[in-house]
Amino acid sequence: MNIGIDMMGGDFAPLEAVKGLQTYLSTSNSRATLYCIGNEAELELLFAEYSLVSPELVIVHASQVIDMDEHATKAFKEKQDSSIAVGFRTLAAGKVDAFISAGNTGAMLVGAFYSIKAIAGVHRPAIASIVPKVSGATGILLDVGLNADCKPENLNQFALLGSLYAKDVFGIENPKVGLLNVGEEEGKGNILTQATYPLLKENRGINFIGNIEGRDVFLDKADVMICDGFTGNIILKMAESLYDAAKERNIPDTFMHRFNYEDVGGTPVLGVAKPIVIGHGISNATAFSNMILLAEKMVASNICGHIIDQFKA
Amino acid sequence: MNIGIDMMGGDFAPLEAVKGLQTYLSTSNSRATLYCIGNEAELELLFAEYSLVSPELVIVHASQVIDMDEHATKAFKEKQDSSIAVGFRTLAAGKVDAFISAGNTGAMLVGAFYSIKAIAGVHRPAIASIVPKVSGATGILLDVGLNADCKPENLNQFALLGSLYAKDVFGIENPKVGLLNVGEEEGKGNILTQATYPLLKENRGINFIGNIEGRDVFLDKADVMICDGFTGNIILKMAESLYDAAKERNIPDTFMHRFNYEDVGGTPVLGVAKPIVIGHGISNATAFSNMILLAEKMVASNICGHIIDQFKA
């Protein structure tokens, strides 16, 4: 298995990316070959400094970097030798099986949509976040930001994408799908959720358990929680801020600490043809290492193949 | 000042309502006359049991109760001698200055809209919740549930309603208004927030500070946070569940404990002609006492008068 890593993406790159490789190599049993995409000279110096010598590390030179605040489409087009553009070419050519980056999110999406493309039948790819449950279990929430406005059919597709992700990557058999809503009964909700409910009910590919409310997000009622990208993004960012609050206030609680973005690593783009993981701009070594592990699981489980199969007309 | 209290509303009524009177009388310095609406015989027995003898307590007999799961409009119409219907008649007649209930929310809204009515110029009344800030400050979030689907003009009005509430009831001078959104820059968001931003920017009656994100909800960036009722309801219920999680896990943290619904008491219906406070179904003595205090503040500050003035064409 070959995984491409944008070494230049994120606020603390390439240093934290390099340390992330170190963490990964010293803690993981699996052995993917890691294609480290970035400035060769800079990376060689850092690899030497951190004594990173491994046959599993391959440097792929990229002379440019797309900065965090650059216009995504423009930068992706113009900076053809940027680590993100090189990463996507490497992925499209099949030299790597997955690509991860903590760099410019917009540029990652441009690459995902235009270089790798959506899977046939998937109208709107989505990004999924894990949500820690009070019980210790892990839930999946999507969409958390790609699609601020959704149609009922989009949410219905998210349910299937999320179910496959929960099963393939988190080992949740027959994941329970809940529609995030403002009431439990069918018929409750805004125009979008009211129209989505019947589609989910008819969807034979998922295990729909009905509406869930805000109070159920951290409980075990549903494994896969479906919402539009506006609602999901606000929930995700609220949850992340709770970790900050807990840390700042020295709350030594395992549940609160599971909101730590570092442990999450990154979020996959679900519904595009190959595994792509987008990391937080502030990703540190732990986050990079966890992103590699997530990409590994996505490749090993063949989630993209399963999505392709399920969305065949 | 006279405040009407539905003694029969809520899962633990009338007992917790009676205990709430006791809490209020023994802790509050202010002295509203409390019109206790409910079954006279039952209340007299409980008042005797809890040694509640006070010239500020007036029992108003109501022979019926609207149950929590009854159809709101039907029950309000048919049960004319229910504590909620009697409460609204007492309020409409001017015998009390505010009315609070932890009973059937739907029936409370029917009463608010049809017996008291929206203030001229207010297209959609809203309910507002307090949001504890990490700093210890208090924020206001609205709408938290009345309007699952909103138009830009509704959100623009919520901004003014919330600003007046923050000022009159929480003493926040020139409250900072933030539009809850998925990005900071103007132009970000879903169709609704994109169209709302320019209205807020032009609104001379508020102190608009721009978009806020999910991560800002618990921070001091904005005092008044504006969103549609779908988003607000999910945030509110999530926040309430965090208190449950903190309590269950014995997290002894003051911030987390401020999510306790008891301390919140109830939520006002903003934009109707008289002060109305709706409590949680599971309201206990503390919650009832705090609802009385909230109603008192709404009456004393003349918030409804200020809303009427501000919405005059």
Low-confidence ranges of chain A (pLDDT < 70): 313
- Which residues touch B79 (CB under 8 Å, ≥6 apart)? B64, B65, B66, B85
Query: Where are the strands (E) in chain B, listed by range?
Result: 2-6, 33-38, 57-61, 98-101, 126-132, 138-142, 176-180, 207-212, 224-226, 266-270, 276-279
Write the ipTM: 0.93
Please tell me which of the candidates A229, A235, A249 has its beta carbon nearest to residue B214.
A235
Q: Indicate whether B242 pLDDT > 90.
A: no
Please tell me which of the candidates A148, A213, A239 has its beta carbon nearest to residue B189.
A148
Q: Decide if A1-122+271-313 and A126-260 have a common fold.
A: yes
Q: Indicate whether B259 pLDDT > 90.
A: no
Strands across the sheet containing A276-279: A57-61, A33-38, A2-6, A98-101, A276-279, A266-270, A126-132, A138-142, A224-226, A176-180, A207-212
Interatomic CA distance for residues B255 and A56, integer angstroms: 47
Q: Which two tokens stand for residue B45?
A: 């027995």
Q: Which CATH class, in words, describes the domain spanning B1-122+271-313?
A: alpha beta
pLDDT digits (tens, 9 = 90+) for B154-179: 999 999 999 999 999 999 999 999 99
pLDDT digits (tens, 9 = 90+) for B114-151: 999 999 999 999 999 999 998 999 999 999 999 999 99
Question: Does A230 contact B256 at a Cβ distance shorter than 8 Å?
Answer: no
Interatomic CA distance for residues B169 and A130, integer angstroms: 38
Question: Which residue in A has a C-alpha nearest to residue B134's C-alpha?
Answer: A245
Q: Indicate whether B313 pLDDT > 80.
A: no
Indicate the residue type of B120: A
pLDDT score, position B33: 97
From 3.40.718.10, 3.40.50.450, 3.40.1410.10, 3.30.420.40, which CATH number describes the A126-260 domain? Answer: 3.40.718.10
Q: Indicate whether B25 pLDDT > 80.
A: yes
CA angle B70–A227–B226, rounded 5-degree value: 75
B57 pairs with which residues across the strands? B34
pLDDT score, position B248: 81
Can the peptide bond before residue A14 be classed as cis, meaning omega within 30 degrees of 0? yes
Q: Does B136 touch chain A (CB under 8 A)?
A: no
pLDDT score, position A181: 98
Spacing of C-alpha A127 from chain mean position = 6
Q: Does B217 touch chain A (CB under 8 A)?
A: yes
pLDDT score, position A249: 79
B223 touches B176 (CB < 8 A): yes
Residues of B within 8 A of A190 (CB-CB) are 148-149, 228, 230
In chain B, where the domains are located: 1-122+271-313, 127-260
pLDDT digits (tens, 9 = 90+) for A189-229: 999 999 999 999 999 999 999 999 999 999 999 999 999 99
- Which residues touch A117 (CB under 8 Å, ≥6 apart)? A272, A273
- Which residues touch B162 (CB under 8 Å, ≥6 apart)? B126, B128, B140, B142, B175, B177, B224, B225, B226, B270
**Coil, strand or helix at B124:** coil
- The Cα of A302 is separated from the nearest Cα of chain B by a number of Å equal to 31
Question: Does A148 contact B190 at a Cβ distance shorter than 8 Å?
Answer: yes
pLDDT digits (tens, 9 = 90+) for B56-66: 999 999 999 99
Question: Does A189 contact B248 at a Cβ distance shorter than 8 Å?
Answer: no
* pLDDT band (50, 70, 90) for residue B244: confident
Question: Does B182 contact A229 at a Cβ distance shorter than 8 Å?
Answer: yes
B272 pairs with which residues across the strands? B118, B270
pLDDT score, position A139: 96
Enter the DSSP assignment of B186.
Answer: T
From 3.40.718.10, 3.40.630.10, 3.30.9.90, 3.40.50.720, which CATH number describes the B127-260 domain? Answer: 3.40.718.10
